[in-house]
Every structure is written in structure tokens, then in C-alpha cells.
Amino acid sequence: MAENGIGVSVRRKEDKRYLIGKGNYTDDINVVGQTYAIFVRSPHAHATINGIELAAAETSAGVVAVFTGDDLAADGIGPLICGVTVTSDDGEPHRAPAHPALAQGKVNYVGDHVAIVIAETLAQAKDAAEKVEVDYGILPAVTDTGSAADEGQQQIHEAAPNNICFNWPLGDKEAVEAAFASAHKISRLDLINNRMVTNPIEPRAVLGEYNTGTEEITLHLTSQNPHLHRLVLSAFNQLAPEHKLRIVAPDVGGGFGAKIFIYAEELVVGWACRKVNRPVKWTSDRTEAFLSDAHGRDHVTSAEMALDKDGKFLALRVMTTANLGAYISTFGTMVPSYLYAFLFAGQYTTPLIYSEVKAVFTNTAPVDASRGAGRPEATFMLERLVDVAAADMGLDPVEIRRRNFIPVDAFPYQTPVVQCYDSGDYHAALDKALALADYDGFGARAEEAKTRGMLRGIGLSSYVEACGIAPSAAVGQLGAGIGLWESAQVRFNPTGNVQVFTGSHSSGQGHETTFAQLVTELLGVPIEDIEVIHGDTAKTQFGMGTYGSRSMAVGGVAIAKACEKLIAKGKKIAAHALEAAEGDIEFADGNFTIAGTDKAMSIAEVAFNAYVPHSYPEDLEPGFDENAFFDPLNFSFPGGTHICEVEIDPETGVVEIIKYSAVDDFGKLINPMIVEGQVHGGITHGVGQALLEACHYDSEGQLITASFMDYAMPRADNVPSFDIDYAPTDPPDNPLGVKGCGEAGAIGAPPAVINAITNALGVKHIDMPATPEKVWRAAQGAA
Amino acid sequence: MYDFSYHNPKNVADAVSAMNEAEDGKFVAGGQTMIPTMKHRLASPSDIIDLRGIAELSGITVDGRGISIGAMTTHAEVAASSDVQAMIPALAALAANIGDPAVRNCGTIGGSVANNDPAADYPAAVIALGATVKTSKREISADDFFTGMFETALEEDELITAISFPKADAAAYMKFENPASRYAIVGVFVAKTGNDVRVGITGATPCAHRGMRLEEVLNSNFSADALESVEIPVAKMNADIHASAEYRAHLVKVMTRRAVAACS
């Protein structure tokens, strides 16, 4: 193993610049001649626009320009698109109402974009924006997920009758019905999956510049996937030809999904900077972030499990209504469909699964991927239902899981819901987690808590998720408009140091460290001589970005492939320089050696030789710089068991997490310290969903939780010190043996927390977030 | 934020005259409410009269009967004061748990009390300890000071200069925090001096107030158990997405019980 190679907890290379204040975020960038943009947003959830009066704004001090949807349409700047088609039960593609970047005659949620005001200063832009007079014809709003498609509901889009985007069935309905008809017991659970606001600490921002000389638009923006932004803005929104559009995403202060998507502000600023021929900057404030960032989750679900007399799962039936918000966001259709129902097998051998997902429009912000994206919703449904089934059968939650786990020798395991799991040892993870949590000692701890008037509960969640997104063939078949490979370039400079260009852009994950560890391991170059470069379409050759825990599982493999090409080429160069046959050259620990001799060249010497090719034969190409693309063969399937132990104060309903134990299978760990950080963050995210976070619209479509004063994010004192371990297996489909770890915590934690609370209270279910009042009321009922 | 004229007076008299000359002036103490409100363009004062340069408004003094805290004394200073800790430890503890370190290092006792946010902590202490609010014009008793939601007995050009708290024999503050803002959903301050018990309640209703029914019971039997029979009127309680009126009424009783228990 290299000194700072795979498996070493190397301190993060990128942290120095963050810690000394040298991070460079989009809003840190200012250019000569810059103007400032403010978006005029709808204060109403649902209204026609009967007229817009711009004169007062246009003549306001410092105003450069004011534009509306008509101006965009006149320039042929297309509506925002959805990248994935889902086929509805009538055989037609999902209903896709137009999503104009600036409203065309109608607004559909509070925060919807009506106009852009560009001025010399931010204050002048704000002053002028207040002078834009919009004549709204207010319509009733639809905000409730469960009733959005009901008969007689207010219609939002003409193109989507009954506010339905799609009805998407999956599985053999009749076979599932037959299994239910002959079941020993049927367990049922109705639940909601609470809507969340993703809330990265850095709000979205974009700075657009147009160069009249090169006719190139440069957009500095907060993106998890700069090339995807360029592709969509160019190919579908007609912003500029792809070779005349540069996307620079500098340091990104967290994304968690919210910075995947192509947003109205990005397109409009990109268009406007050419229109006014001045740089234009827009930075979201926190209120705008709450109103206009894509939200996550928001499902209403009925689930049923059919069991035999031994507690074996015979069949699962799930009916979900998923809220897509007012418009379909970039990947809005994929989250409650493929990323959701394909996980319904969980860790179990359930042979028959049938589900229907009804995706609905409402007068709320668009809903799209947020850390976990579909998989937390699937896991919460399944792991809660399994606990209900355990209670119905009189089995311990551990026992019912054991009876239904996919056995270790069954992998690769084809589930009845499309996915074929790569590897897993679910009993091993469960065993480790039970030991870590001292599950057997829980009874004594609960008794002790009772003497203090407190209620203790313990709950587990055995999750599996699909990440390392994704094989292009698979997603193409499912209706995605893109491939989900990743690309890398590994370049030696003549002096022997290395620049690694990756399409896996970082929004805080530590790529500059972990990818460098990979390269030092494979090429033997000291880690301090390796620089990882990302986030600029003019620098990196290509890339699909960072989401779905794909960076190491897909992007890392692309880097490894480029390294392999360098080694292959290095052998040719060393053979020439050392006057040996190529087949006799071996590479190890950074040196090319003639087998069986002490004649060797370091890889740095080979690099120098490659750039000073004074005596190269015709068939030996100079240079030491290789690129590679990698398209994964399969998703990767991390899994594990999380165990949460809570103590509830029945007098107030306050839940304290006393202990949280997580045992995960992420395959091989590149940097255990960074993985641990991802697990901590993921679990905290999940605890936030379980206990605190509730995005709340009122019946008129006003966002009640539009600030941190009302939207409760998890804080350090909401979580305990986590107990973490691993039960790794070796995924055969991944060349590096890695699985992905960024979302697992957010997927595994919510049901573990809620299962612990229902266990403490002795109730069947409690909806998330389990706020003190909800828990107090449940405790009253239970007492 | 809209444009405004900025004033930086060095004494109370200059501050008051700046206010009297302003069209729509506002005093700013620590700015922890005023500045965010202005940044959101929800307030547009013509003039901001910054009190931070007025030395006479800061500082903590002790005499045999109690403690006097200058209006511009920050929460952090109150929390760290050995005099406050020694004389009324519950008040120091209350200050130590307001907001976060940034808020505590900017926010002031005078600003908090003058603003009278229905969920602020200090009003409960001012009421329960029977404090006296000293202003540029007069002295106002705690019972007369808080008049409604964000409203006080202060006149437009009247400044709080100090708040004096008499020493209590025992006191405790119990706060049930809003999980998002960490303001009080319900905060109850109980103070006992001789046989006189006072209960200050914040968060529960539109304005901090005395818990008269609770006091009545506690005056005859200062024990947590004695509170069982007290009815907290649900109809008067605030209700929002974080806590219903019924839950708030329940919490008033629970927090009072816990404060009483902490006193004994």
C-alpha cells in the first residue's frame, strides 16, 4: 500500500484553503463592469398574469434592463426541460407542461419567476424590482399531495388533466393479489414521507459574462455537474452552442442534490448577460433558497405486506402519491419512480412486488432529488412496514428481518423490481450492529430509564440502496436523455508532477484528496505531487457530475483506467529508453523495471522522457497524458443495519437519541476518515428528516417554513456521538471494489429513528418529523 | 436594506434629541432584531440612532438589594458576570442560553426588553424578579412595562438606560425551545423572595405576563406537586406550526413545575 494510498485516512488536501479563508465560491467572484440581478417572484401560489407594468422599474435609478417571459420567448430561449421520461399507465409519456424560465401569462407557485431586473448595484436592482407592477388574477391553490388529483380539484396545467403527471405501475398486479388472497397475515401501514428543503449552506448563485470577441458565454455557477449544465443549456435551452458556452463551478458549498438541476435563474442570467452585454450576477438569499430551490421527498403512501405463518414475506403492495411541485424539475420524474420503486425489495427475498406511483402537480416549488432521492422514501416505507409486520406476527424486529434476508450465497441477486444486487452480507452487518448497539442489554436500560420516568426505545433499519449511478444502457432503456458514465484525464507534466482532471465535481466531498489517494496508489507518485482539477468545462474534458454517490464508484474508476493507460504507455517509453523489449518491463511502486534486473526508470523520468523525445521512433508517440471514460456495468448496492436508541420525556414529548450504531457495507474504503464524515453527515440528515424538518405550505400555497426561524435543521446537539463500523463485501461489478457512501446515512436513519420512537411509545406509527408535540400526543394515547 | 441616516451619539441626551429630530427614527441597541428586519426590507426607518457609543448605558453594578444592568450590556456579559452569577444565577443562566454566541455578543438586555418579542427570554425574568425598568424619563415597574405583542410602555423618544433586579432567595428559568429558532415556545421564570412567589411566562401568549393562578397556588404551597390542580387557559395561548395552544398550555405547567423543582 502506498504511503497515502487506498485505505489511509489522509487529511483533506482541500481544507487548507477553506480554513484560511481562501475558498473561492461563486459569489466571491466579481468582474469589471458587473451588474446585479434580482428576480421578481410571484407572491401568489396560483394566478394568471393579466399584465405587467415595467415603466417605473425601467426608469428607476441605475437600472440596466428589465426582462419578462416575452423577451425570452422572442429570442427563442426554450423552456426548462426534464431529463427522464416515465411512461404512464396509458402507454403515453408523462405529461410535461411547459416550464418557462420566466412566467408566460401564469404563475404556479410562490417564488415563481416573473421578471428579471438588472441594475448597477444590488440595492438599485431591489428598489426597481419593487416597482414592477404585476396584475395577478388569483386562482385557488393546490398544495396537499394526497388530494391533488381528487375529482373537482383546481386544475394547474392544461396539459396535465387532474393534476396528474404520470401513473406508473410496476410489477405483476394479479400475482400480488393472489398472494394477498392466500396470505396468513396482511400488515398495513399508511404513511407520509415529509417534504424537505435541502438547504446547502451556500445558496445558489450565477455570474454570467459574454465576450463579444470570442462570442463565448461563461457562467460561473453553483453546480454539482458543470458539463451537464452546459449540455442542457446548450442543446435544449438554446443559450449558446456547446463550444461557445463555458461553465465554471468553483468551490461549491454543499449541494446534496439541490445543485444538480438546471434552474431558471441560470438560464435567464446566461441569456441576459449577452442581451445587455454586461456581466450579470445573481446570488440567492436564504428566503429565495427556501422558495425556489428544488425540494425533496413529499410522498403519501399506503403499503401492505402479505406474510405466511412463519413471518416470511410473500408479497408487497405499495400505492404512492408523489408531489412533483408546480413544474417538473430536471430529474423530477425519475426520483419517485426508478429511484424509488426499484428499491422495494430492500434486503429481503419478497418474491412478488406491485406498486403504483401517481405523480401529481401542486402549487408548490418543484420537487427533485435530495440526498438519497427516492431511496430514503423506499427504505422508510419498507423498514417501517417490516416493524409493523413484526408486531403483527409477534416476532422481534430482528427475527423477522433475519427470516427474510437475502442470503449471502444468493448474490448477485435479481430482485423482482428490476435491480440486480451486486453483493451483500446482511446477516453479518446485522450481527455487528446488534453487538455495537448492545441490543441484548436494551431491556435493562429501558427498565432503568423507567425509574427516571423516561421511555426508552430501540429501532433498527436494514437498508439497501442503489448508487454509483449508473449504467448508460440501463438508464437509456428507462427513458433518460443522457448517459451516466464518467470521464477522467491524468496528465504528467514534464517535471513529474500530475494533474488529474475529473468530471466528478466536488461540492465538499473531498475529491481532491480521495482521487489523489487513488493516483498515488496506482502510479506511485507522492500525493503532494498530485493536483485534482474539477468544475470547469474549459479544463476538464467531460463529465456527468456528482450525485447518487457516484464519484468514486464511477469517476474513480475512470481515473484508474486513465492510470492504466499511462502505465501501458510508460512501459513502451521505458522499453525504448532502457533498450529492452516492452514485454520485459514491469511497473511497481512508481518504477518501470526490466524484469529480473536492477535497471529501472521512475515514472517521473518516463514523463520527462516522454516530453523530451529526442530519439523516438516513428511509432512511439510523445507525451504522457491519458484520458478514459468509464460506464459502470451495474449500479452499486451499499447496505447495512442502523440501530437507534432513544429516550423520550413523556411529559414534553422530547426525543433524545441516546445511541446510534451504524454498520455499513460500502465495499472498499479509500479514505476511512472521509467515509466516516459522510456517514455522520448522512445520519444527521436522516435524523433531521425524522425529528425536525418539515416543509410546510398553507392552504393558500404560502411557504410557512421559509426561514431557519421556522424550518428546523439538525444541529450538533440533536445527534449523539455515532458508533460506526463496516461489514464490507466485494462488489464484483466495480473494478475498484467500491460502492459509494454519501447517501447511506440519510437513507438508513429515518426508519431507525422512527422505529425506536414507536418502540418506546408502543404505538404502531408516528409520522415524520416526530416533533415533541406529536410524540407527546402519542405518549398520551399510549399511556 | 433601504437607505437611512446614521447617528452615533455619545450620550443619552444626544440620542434622544436625534430621535426627536428624525422623521421616522429607530434606536438600535445590539441590532439582532432590527438589522435582519431592515435587511429583509420589512422596516425602513429614516434614521438609525446607534446606541453602542454611549458608555453610560453599559455595565453591571451591585448593591445590597440587587443588581442593576445597563441597557447596552450584552447577553454574553450578563452570562459571564460573576456578580450576576452570585446574586441571581438563574438570570446569568438565562442569558447564557439566548440565541448563539454571535447573538449573545451583540444582543443587549435593553434591546431585548424594549423589543418585547413574545418569545424572548428576558421579559420572563424581568416580570418574575419584579425588576424596575429605568429609562431616560422615568422608572417603570415590570408589571406595567410589557403592554402587548412587541409593545411596551416606552414612548417613541424614550430609552431604557438600565434594568434593576432585586435579589431573589431562589429563582429558576425553564425554557422549552422552538427546535428551529431556539426561541422559547414556552419559558417560565419562577422567583421566590421570602414568602412572595412571582412567575413570569414568555412564549405562551402574545405578550410575556405573570402567571397569577400559578403564583396563587405557589404562595401557599411552594412545591411542584401543588401545581397539578391549576388550569392553564388554553384559549389564551399562541398556536403555530410548532405548538398548538393545548400543548403550550400543558408546557406552561410542566415548565413551571420544573422551575419550582429547580428552586428548591
Claim to verify: residue A460 and residue A521 sit in the same structural domain: no
Average pLDDT over residues B32-47: 95
Average pLDDT over residues A672-683: 98
Claim to verify: residue A105 and residue A218 sit in the same structural domain: yes
Q: Which residues constitute the domain of residue B174?
A: 170-263
Residue A783, pLDDT above cutoff 80:
no
Distance CA A458, CA A439 (A): 8
HSE-CB for A602 with a 13 A CA cutoff: 11
Q: Kindly indicate the confidence band of residue A481, based on its pLDDT and cuts at 50, 70 and 90.
A: confident
Return the amino acid letter for A636.
S
Residue A50, pLDDT above cutoff 90:
yes
Distance from CA of A126 to the nearest CA of B (A): 9
Q: Is A673 exposed, middle or buried (0-12, 13-18, 19+ CB in 10 A)?
A: middle
Distance CA A518, CA A502 (A): 13
Task: Round the average pLDDT of chain B to a whole number and report it.
Answer: 97
Residue in A709, A712, A773 nearest the CB of B247: A773
What is the predicted pLDDT for the residue at A479? Answer: 87
Q: Kindly indicate the confidence band of residue B64, based on its pLDDT and cuts at 50, 70 and 90.
A: confident
Contact A260, A507 (CB under 8 A): no
| B243 interaction partners in chain A (CB closer than 8 Å) | 772-773
Q: Which of A588, A460, A479, A577 is nearest to A524 (CA)?
A: A588
| A704 interaction partners in chain B (CB closer than 8 Å) | 241
Residue B162 belongs to domain with CATH number: 3.30.465.10
Q: What is the pLDDT of residues A125-175, one digit of tens each?
A: 999 999 999 999 999 999 999 999 999 999 999 999 999 999 999 999 999
What is the predicted pLDDT for the residue at A496? Answer: 97
Distances (CA, A) of A250 to A29, A266, A280, A438: 9, 15, 17, 45
Q: What is the pLDDT of residues A168-202, one digit of tens each?
A: 999 999 999 999 999 999 999 999 999 999 999 99
Residue B19 belongs to domain with CATH number: 3.30.43.10
Residue A781, pLDDT above cutoff 70:
yes
Residues on A contacting B at a C-beta cutoff of 8 Å = 123, 126, 130, 287, 651-652, 691-692, 694, 696, 704-705, 708-713, 771-773, 776-777
Percent of chain A, pLDDT > 70?
A: 100
**Residues B181, A711: C-beta atoms closer than 8 Å:** no
- Spell out a b/e string for B4-17, using b for 16 or more CB atoms within 10 Å of the CB, else e: beebebeebeebbe
First to last CA, chain A: 58
Single residue among A630, A653, A677 that ends a domain in this structure = A630
Distances (CA, A) of A552 to A290, A419, A467, A503, A556: 30, 20, 11, 11, 4
Percent of chain A, pLDDT > 90?
A: 97
- What ipTM was estimated for this complex? 0.95
Claim to verify: residue A415 and residue A528 sit in the same structural domain: no
Claim to verify: residue A575 and residue A648 sit in the same structural domain: no
What backbone phi and psi angles, to 5 degrees, belong to A523?
-110, -10
Q: Which of A164, A136, A177 is nearest to A45 (CA)?
A: A136
Q: What is the pLDDT of residues A217-256, one digit of tens each?
A: 999 999 999 999 999 999 999 999 999 999 999 999 999 9
Q: Which of B130, B196, B189 is nearest to B169 (CA)?
A: B196
Return the amino acid letter for A661.
S
Contact A433, A469 (CB under 8 A): no
Claim to verify: residue A440 and residue A497 sit in the same structural domain: no
Chain A to chain B Cβ contacts (< 8 Å):
44
Task: Round the average pLDDT of chain A to a whole number and report it.
Answer: 97
Q: Kindly indicate the confidence band of residue B197, based on its pLDDT and cuts at 50, 70 and 90.
A: very high
What is the predicted pLDDT for the residue at A239? Answer: 96
Cβ within 8 Å of residue A338, ≥6 positions away: A84, A86, A374, A418, A478
Q: Kindly indicate the confidence band of residue B245, based on its pLDDT and cuts at 50, 70 and 90.
A: very high
What backbone phi and psi angles, to 5 degrees, belong to B204?
-75, -35
Q: What is the pLDDT of residues A573-626, one digit of tens each?
A: 999 999 999 999 999 999 999 999 999 999 999 999 999 999 999 999 999 999
Distance CA A95, CA A340 (A): 19
Claim to verify: residue B217 and residue B244 sit in the same structural domain: yes
Average pLDDT over residues A758-769: 98
Q: Which sign, positive or negative, has the C-alpha torsion A747, A751, A754, A757?
A: negative
Which residues face A724 on adjacent strands? A662
**Residues B1, A123: C-beta atoms closer than 8 Å:** yes
Q: Which residues constitute the domain of residue A66?
A: 31-139+201-254+259-292
What is the predicted pLDDT for the residue at A782? Answer: 61
Average pLDDT over residues A14-27: 96
Residue A124 belongs to domain with CATH number: 3.90.1170.50
What is the predicted pLDDT for the residue at A1? Answer: 56
Distance CA B39, CA A555 (A): 42
Residue A721, pLDDT above cutoff 70:
yes
DSSP assignment of A199-254, as one string? --SSPPEEEEEEETTTTEEEEEE--S-HHHHHHHHHHTT-SS-GGGEEEE--B---
Claim to verify: residue B84 and residue B159 sit in the same structural domain: yes
Distance CA A705, CA A694 (A): 8
Q: What is the pLDDT of residues B122-163, one digit of tens each?
A: 999 999 999 999 999 999 999 999 999 999 999 999 999 999
Claim to verify: residue B138 and residue B87 sit in the same structural domain: yes
What is the predicted pLDDT for the residue at A470? Answer: 87
Claim to verify: residue A543 and residue A446 sit in the same structural domain: no
Average pLDDT over residues B181-203: 97
Which residues face A302 on adjacent strands? A190, A319
Which residues face A41 on adjacent strands? A113
Claim to verify: residue B31 and residue B133 sit in the same structural domain: no
Residue A279, pLDDT above cutoff 80:
yes
